[in-house]
């Protein structure tokens, strides 16, 4: 049975790459746009660490006068908007994880409703502008030339749970925002069922980004408030939101872990019940004979 399933997946994969370039372009586009969410976490952590270093050197007020307008927007206004957008998607993911559905992001399996499609377009464009502006401003300021991490190594369990929560948030982002927009653009509004190759590419891209940069830099969000308290610096609203956003993602990961344990317990209970019922039925049949 397992061999037939893998054989079917291999044939499906060959069919995808042997078909028109539209299918390949569709997979690439969905994967790249899905990375906007983890890139937002990375960007917020990098900008937060940069603001901390600039504030600790007491050169922030002087530097903002000489920065170009694009860089000023990237370091001040852009993170505030991005915090709101990422928090919105993260809260929606937590509600979806706890309840199993959320009206705003629910969609039909065969078509995309226009009001929800418009919301998806607005969110996707807002994320693209904020991430693009933040990366461009960060490069202009030289934020990526030096290490922005604080050297704080959190436990492996904490990192794994955060990664699971980020993957869960990325899945909702992909299904509720990215796919409706791409389906409407490429296939004229006909919603396509999510395939296993899309899930594999999304998980692989997130894993690569996590291993390359995200696993260390994202922890700046949670240690920022503690570092500023130790240095007797003012803790701003952005620092608190970053700390809250990190643990919100950890909470989503913990919900996923609890659900996995509950599923495993239910499977074991069903197998145990089946194994107990089978001997009783066999004894009843022997008594009848």
Residue 109 has pLDDT above 50, yes or no: no
In three state form, how does the secondary structure of 249-284 look? HHHHHHHHHHHHHHHHHHHHHHHHHHHHHHHHHHHH
Q: State the chain's mean pLDDT as an integer.
A: 78
Measured distance CA(91)–CA(249) in Å, rounded: 9
Supply the DSSP symbol for 193.
Answer: P
- Is 186 within a domain? yes
Q: What share of the chain is helix, strand, coil (3-state, %, to 5)?
A: 80, 0, 20
Q: Which of 15-19, 210-214, 268-272 has the lowest mean pLDDT?
A: 15-19
Q: 67 in a domain, yes or no? A: yes
- Counting residues of the chain whose pLDDT is more than 90, the rounded percentage is 28
pLDDT band at 72 (very low <50, low <70, confident <90, very high): low
Q: How confident is the model at residue 64 (pLDDT cuts 50, 70, 90)?
A: very low
Tokens of 125: 């464009």
Distances (CA, A) of 12 to 6, 43, 53, 124: 10, 36, 51, 29
What per-residue confidence (pLDDT) applies to 65?
45
Which pLDDT does position 62 carry in this prediction?
47
pLDDT band at 95 (very low <50, low <70, confident <90, very high): very high
CB 211 within 8 A of CB 187: no
Question: Does residue 6 fall inside a structural domain?
Answer: no
Taking residues 265-273, report their average pLDDT.
81
Domain assignment present for residue 88? The answer is yes
pLDDT at 42 over 80: yes
Mean pLDDT of 207-229: 84
> How many structural domains does the chain have?
1
Higher pLDDT, 134 or 20: 134
Write b or e for each residue in 251-273: b if 16 or more Cβ atoms lie within 10 A of its Cβ, otherwise e: bbbbbbeeeeeeeeeeeeeeeee
The answer to whether the beta carbons of residues 256 and 164 sit under 8 Å apart is yes
d(CA 161, CA 184) in angstroms, rounded, equals: 34
**What pLDDT score was predicted for residue 7?**
61
How large is the average pLDDT for residues 238-250?
Answer: 91
Q: What is the Cα 226 distance to its own chain's centre? A: 25
The domain in which residue 102 lies consists of 19-288
What is the model's pTM?
0.82
Interval 32-56 mean pLDDT: 85
Q: In this structure, what are the phi and psi dihedrals at residue 193, rounded to the nearest 5 degrees?
A: -70, 140
In a domain, 154, yes or no: yes
Give per-residue pLDDT as tens, 148-200: 555 556 778 888 999 999 999 999 999 999 998 998 888 776 667 778 888 98
| Mean pLDDT along residues 247-273 | 89
User: What letters, b where the CB count within 10 A reaches 16 and e where it falls short, cover 169-207?
Assistant: bbbbbbbbbbbbbbbbebeeeebeeeeebbeebbeebbe
Residue 268 confidence (pLDDT) above 80: yes
């Amino acid at each position: 049975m397992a061999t037939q399933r893998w054989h079917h997946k291999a044939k499906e994969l060959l069919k995808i790459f042997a078909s028109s370039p539209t299918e390949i372009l569709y997979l690439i586009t969905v994967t790249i746009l899905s990375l906007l969410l983890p890139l937002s976490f990375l960007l917020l952590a990098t900008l937060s660490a940069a603001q901390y270093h600039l504030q600790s050197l007491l050169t922030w007020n002087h530097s903002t006068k000489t920065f170009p307008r694009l860089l000023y927007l990237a370091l001040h206004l852009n993170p505030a908007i991005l915090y709101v957008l990422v928090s919105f998607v993260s809260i929606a993911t937590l509600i979806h994880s706890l309840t199993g559905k959320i009206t705003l992001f629910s969609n039909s399996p065969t078509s995309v409703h226009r009001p929800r499609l418009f919301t998806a377009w607005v969110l996707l464009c807002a994320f693209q502008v904020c991430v693009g502006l933040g990366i461009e401003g960060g490069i202009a300021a030289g934020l990526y030339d030096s290490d922005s991490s604080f050297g704080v190594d959190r436990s492996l369990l904490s990192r794994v749970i955060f990664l699971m929560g980020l993957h869960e948030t990325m899945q909702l982002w992909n299904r509720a925002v990215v796919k409706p927009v791409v389906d409407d653009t490429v296939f004229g509004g006909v919603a396509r069922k999510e395939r296993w190759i899309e899930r594999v590419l999304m998980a692989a891209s997130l894993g690569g980004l996590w291993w390359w940069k995200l696993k260390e830099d994202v922890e700046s969000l949670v240690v920022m408030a503690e570092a500023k308290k130790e240095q007797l610096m003012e803790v701003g609203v952005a620092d608190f939101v970053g700390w809250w956003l990190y643990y919100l993602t950890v909470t989503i990961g913990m919900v996923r872990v609890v659900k996995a344990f509950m599923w495993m317990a239910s499977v074991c209970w069903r197998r145990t019940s089946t194994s107990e019922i089978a001997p009783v039925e066999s004894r009843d049949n022997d008594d009848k004979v």
